[in-house]
Amino acid sequence: MADLATTFAGIRSPNPFWLASAPPTDKEYNVVRAFRAGWGGAVWKTLGEDPPIVNTASRYGAVSFNGARIAGFSNIELITDRPLAVNLSEIKAVKRAWPDRALVVSLMVPCAEESWKRILGAVEDTGADGVELNFGCPHGMSERGMGSAVGQVPDYVEMVVRWCKQATRMPVIVKLTPNITDILAPARAARRGGADAVSLINTVQSITGVDLDLMAPMPVVDGQGTHGGYCGPAVKPIALCMVAGIARDSECASLPISGIGGIATWRDAAEFIALGAGTVQVCTAAMHRGFRIVTDMIDGLANWMDRAGYRRIEDFRGRAVRNFVHWEDLNLNYRTVAHIDQDLCIRCGLCHIACEDTAHQAIAARRANGRRQYEVIAAECVGCNLCAHACPVEDCISMVPVPTGRPRLTWKQHPNNPERREAAE
Amino acid sequence: MDGDGLSAHRIPRDVIAANFADCAPALSHDEAQVAAARCYFCHDAPCIEACPTGIDIPLFIRGIATGNLKGAAQTILDANIFGGSCARVCPTEILCQRACVRTAQEEKPVAIGALQRHATDWLFAQKLQPYSRAPATSRRIAVVGAGPAGLACAHALARLGHSVTVFEAREKPGGLNEYGIAAYKLVDDFAQSEIAFILGLGGIAVEYGRSLGQNLALSALRQNFDAVFLGLGLAGANRLGLPGEDLPGVANAIDFIAALRQATDKSTLPIARQVVVVGGGNTAIDAATQARKLGAEEVSIVYRRGPEAMSATLEEQERAQVNGVTIRHWATPVALEAVAGQLAAVVFEHTRPDSAGRAVGNGERFVLPAQMLLKAIGQHFLPEPLATEGPRLEGGRIAVNKDGETSLPGVFAGGDCIAGPDLTVQAVENGKIAARAIHRHLGF
Ligand SMILES: Cc1cc2nc3c(=O)[nH]c(=O)nc-3n(C[C@H](O)[C@H](O)[C@H](O)COP(=O)(O)OP(=O)(O)OC[C@H]3O[C@@H](n4cnc5c(N)ncnc54)[C@H](O)[C@@H]3O)c2cc1C
Ligand SMILES: Cc1cc2nc3c(=O)[nH]c(=O)nc-3n(C[C@H](O)[C@H](O)[C@H](O)COP(=O)(O)O)c2cc1C
Ligand code: SF4
């Protein structure tokens, strides 16, 4: 059986599945339930200075897609709404009762060195394993000069991280906001400041919908709405891209990454790890289905690793990073053609209409003895694979590589590229 | 033996009422969303082709999925003005839902019928009248028969601005929707509320108690109207041709069903302890199932061939079986036995297929005690009302071309009285096609 134990920025946990800083990690009661369910770690709901903030009703928006609830999720909650002393004493109690689990404390205080020093000292006394600096919250706190207001300015990131590293012996993880043009800027800044790791993504600024009766953006609070932070399955592709971007960056190289964003299954986790993440954090999936999901995450990941021949997380961590290249490094001489398995085809015609209306008119609609027949016209197919995505039947349409006899050719060498470099002989 | 004959109140009234409740209750909002999400919105969708009225099924289901219920309902009704009753009575398992690609994929079609009901119910509940009439044309058309064929034709013509008079022999409109369809398929007087919606368009006058061949003549209609549509249905019930067929206890299944449909309190209907139904179609299924629901203790359907030859769909056969009906195959009635002038038993002979595939008796007999025998061995077209001036017949029904026009210029026909599947949805399509042809015939 594969060994899932991880050591991340010096913090040990029995498995890479941590709960992200959010309502699931708001208090002792929840975190104890989570640890009992098997979670490897938790990042405590972000602490701030007293007096605590105040939250609204409602707080959440969600996007359903084709009957699937919570395909995307958003919130307008702020950091913890409980007094600092209460949180600190609970953190201490949990860490004492669960020494083998990772317990990291998320922090957000005003952008002043004194404030950070004060809270770091208090957290250190709890025996927590590390801190996560919340530079990501995109609403409510940013207007007060905290959260993403810091995270969007690389110089501030570097400055605050440096203060923190000087003030504490605990590992410092910097949680990054995706609400920025280039994720590398704050990631590199964190590294320059001496961060032990980064975690990403925090939530994406969003309006989940508009209530057309009230004419107000959702979630609606007494007839009005504000932008919230988007997360859940819908943001996973954005998160993967940002994680991978940091993983392959030479300036950030070897900076540990905790992957966050839309992770709901062991497979999602494996993908983040393959792109360089050392641990993963989960919020929405737990809020949707409860802590019990971790059982399948743990054994799903272990079973997959056994099948794939990986004994430890490190055996496959970052394996896909080398294949994450820039567009200009892709082989333009590689060809595929769609192939429809006529035995599996249910004759819905979706491949035909997708290609006919919006792609390359490469799937013919025929009738053979009154029966619908959809056939690829190989000469017209450009191998875009739209049809394979539109097809509702698993494995019915496959993209078959076609030998072209031509050597690998990238845009860098392509004759159409005015700035081409001849292939090195 | 006491109570062995026909008797009402065999089971309590509330049990009977529950037995006749809606056999396929409406989908809730959430159920409809889940069902609608299963539709792939196919290109050239096979279900559309499998619907005799060609409803754009993927489009109306998309309307349900997006919350555009009015658009969904109108997509349905544009193609099939009886979309509400068809949603309830169509054998979807051999029509749209059989063609659904999900049937090929996972043997679980999208619930098209139930979704169709969801959308049309919504429109009826809003009391919306989405249709209006084109400017009046001053053309007058006579429709004979207020069944699905006749009323579908009348509605389409009235929309085009023509004025329509419907002549109906009975006291109520609807044809078999009112008198024939199983009670648990069309509950809450749906047939009449749907017809009220159809007639709500305006431009359609219905004269009841007007029977062609009795107080109405085709020749007069041809003289007084610009065109005539015949939607007469099948008035004749086939007979067994056995001595004793008129004994008390022997009845046509369709008459039994009609009485059942019209009864305000079904517990007052007499029913026997032991009932035998002869036939293999949906009428046999419906009669047998409803006999059980009324309180008959033993009900058998006896059919002269095997299960695959039954015209009742497998789903319908299962419905009967689930309701405790025994279906016996390969036997045919050969004699009726009476006690004290009342049916007491039916004698059957086993059959088997001969070399030509016909069912022939093999001489072995068995007896089923029965105080009630319901004959469901088919209906036929009665040409008498057409008198000698009637259109040409073919195979015992009115012959028409693809536009529904008969051999008589200006006289059209559709529904059960012409060839083709005897289904509500087919009757509606015939009426609709004929209306278009009549419109052209009138020079538009
Ligand atoms: C018991 C039974 C159950 C059925 N169940 C189903 C089912 O579940 N699903 C389904 O799709 N189909 C079912 N059908 C078939 C369906 O009911 C018919 O195909 C459909 O009603 C045919 O419509 P129509 O308008 O042609 O005829 P009808 O519905 O028979 O209407 C004919 C009308 O014409 C009137 N009429 C007849 N003669 C004259 C005259 N001389 N003068 C004036 N008026 C006249 C009649 O009174 C009647 O109102 C069933 C049929 C039966 C008998
Ligand atoms: C209701 C809610 C509250 C959150 N509060 C915090 C917070 O206090 N601190 C923080 O760093 N992130 C917070 N987040 C962001 C999550 O920790 C996480 O980064 C994000 O939800 C993406 O992960 P997911 O797709 O698994 O939900 C919050 C998210 C949600 C849904
Ligand atoms: S791969 Fe693209 S071009 Fe080829 S058949 Fe499919 S949709 Fe058309």
- Where among A266, A289, A323 does a domain terminate? A323
- Do residues B104 and B35 both lie within one domain? yes
In a domain, B186, yes or no: yes
- Residue range B247-267, pLDDT digits in tens: 999 999 999 999 999 999 999
- Do residues B361 and B242 both lie within one domain? yes
In a domain, B193, yes or no: yes
Domain containing B109 — which CATH number? 1.10.1060.10
- DSSP-assigned states of every residue in B387-400: -TTPPPEETTEE--
List CB contacts (< 8 A) between A371 and chain B: none
Q: A175, A186 in Cβ contact below 8 A?
A: no
| Predicted local confidence at residue B1, as pLDDT | 39
List CB contacts (< 8 A) between A373 and chain B: none
- Do residues B203 and B114 both lie within one domain? no
In a domain, A111, yes or no: yes
CA A42 – ligand 1 centroid, Å: 70
**Closest Cα to atom 20, ligand 1: which residue?**
B424
- CA–CA distance, A17 with A228 (Å, rounded to integer): 25
| Predicted local confidence at residue B356, as pLDDT | 87
List chain A residues with pLDDT less than 50.
Answer: 425
Closest Cα in chain B to A352: B43
- CA–CA distance, B320 with B316 (Å, rounded to integer): 6
- Do residues B46 and B79 both lie within one domain? yes
- Do residues B349 and B386 both lie within one domain? no
The number of domains in chain B is 3
Domain containing A190 — which CATH number? 3.20.20.70
- CA–CA distance, B329 with A296 (Å, rounded to integer): 52
In a domain, A241, yes or no: yes
In a domain, A179, yes or no: yes
In a domain, B353, yes or no: yes
- Do residues B228 and B241 both lie within one domain? no
- CA–CA distance, B11 with B3 (Å, rounded to integer): 13
Q: B96, B32 in Cβ contact below 8 A?
A: no
The number of beta carbons lying within 10 Å of the beta carbon of residue A271 is: 20
List CB contacts (< 8 A) between A346 and chain B: 101-102, 104-105
Asked if the Cβ–Cβ distance from A346 to B65 is below 8 Å, we say: no
Map B109-140 to HEC letters.
CCCHHHHHHHHHHHHHHCCCCCCCCCCCCCCE
Range of the domain at B112: 29-125
Domain containing A393 — which CATH number? 3.30.70.20
- Do residues B302 and B387 both lie within one domain? no
- CA–CA distance, A140 with A125 (Å, rounded to integer): 29
Q: A340, A382 in Cβ contact below 8 A?
A: no
- Do residues B245 and B364 both lie within one domain? yes
Amino acid at position A354, single letter: A
Q: What is the mean pLDDT of residues B352-375?
A: 94
The number of beta carbons lying within 10 Å of the beta carbon of residue A389 is: 11
The helix/strand count (H/E) of chain A reads as 13, 22
In a domain, A225, yes or no: yes
- Where among B324, B352, B375 does a domain terminate? B375
Range of the domain at A193: 6-323
In a domain, B351, yes or no: yes
CA angle, corner A191, sides to A186 and A197, nearest 5?
A: 95
Q: Is a pLDDT exceeding 50 seen at residue B364?
A: yes
In a domain, A61, yes or no: yes
Q: What is the mean pLDDT of residues B351-358?
A: 90
| Predicted local confidence at residue B6, as pLDDT | 87
Q: The whole model's pTM is what?
A: 0.88
- Where among A304, A323, A342 does a domain terminate? A323
In a domain, B5, yes or no: no
% of chain B with per-residue pLDDT over 90: 95
- Do residues B370 and B271 both lie within one domain? yes
- CA–CA distance, B368 with B373 (Å, rounded to integer): 10
- Residue range A144-176, pLDDT digits in tens: 778 788 899 999 999 999 999 999 999 999 999
In a domain, B13, yes or no: no
- Do residues A233 and A380 both lie within one domain? no
In a domain, B2, yes or no: no
Domain containing B255 — which CATH number? 3.50.50.60
In a domain, A407, yes or no: no
Q: What's the Cα-to-Cα distance from B73 to each of B34, B109, B131, B175, rounded to whole Å? A: 18, 20, 12, 24
Ligand 2 proximity of A79 Cβ (cutoff 6 Å): yes
| Predicted local confidence at residue B138, as pLDDT | 94
- Do residues A219 and A346 both lie within one domain? no
Q: How many angstroms separate the CA of residue B306 from the nearest CA in chain A?
A: 29
Does residue A186 sit in helix, strand or coil?
helix
Q: What is the mean pLDDT of residues B161-185?
A: 97
Question: In sequence order, what E strands does A182-240 have?
Answer: 197-200, 204-206, 209-211, 216-218, 220-221, 224-225, 228-231
- Do residues A389 and A248 both lie within one domain? no
The number of beta carbons lying within 10 Å of the beta carbon of residue B263 is: 13
Given CA atoms A129, A130, A136, A140 in this order, what sign does their dihedral have? Answer: positive
Sheet containing strand B411-413, edge to edge, reads B204-208, B163-168, B140-144, B227-230, B411-413
Asked if the Cβ–Cβ distance from B37 to A67 is below 8 Å, we say: yes
In a domain, A22, yes or no: yes
| Predicted local confidence at residue B208, as pLDDT | 98
- Do residues A33 and A75 both lie within one domain? yes
- Do residues B396 and B327 both lie within one domain? no
- Do residues B356 and B245 both lie within one domain? yes
- Do residues B188 and B265 both lie within one domain? no
The number of domains in chain A is 2
Does residue A298 sit in helix, strand or coil?
helix
- Where among B350, B375, B400 does a domain terminate? B375
Q: Is a pLDDT exceeding 50 seen at residue B2?
A: no
Mean pLDDT of chain B: 96
* DSSP label at residue A150: H
- Do residues A30 and A134 both lie within one domain? yes
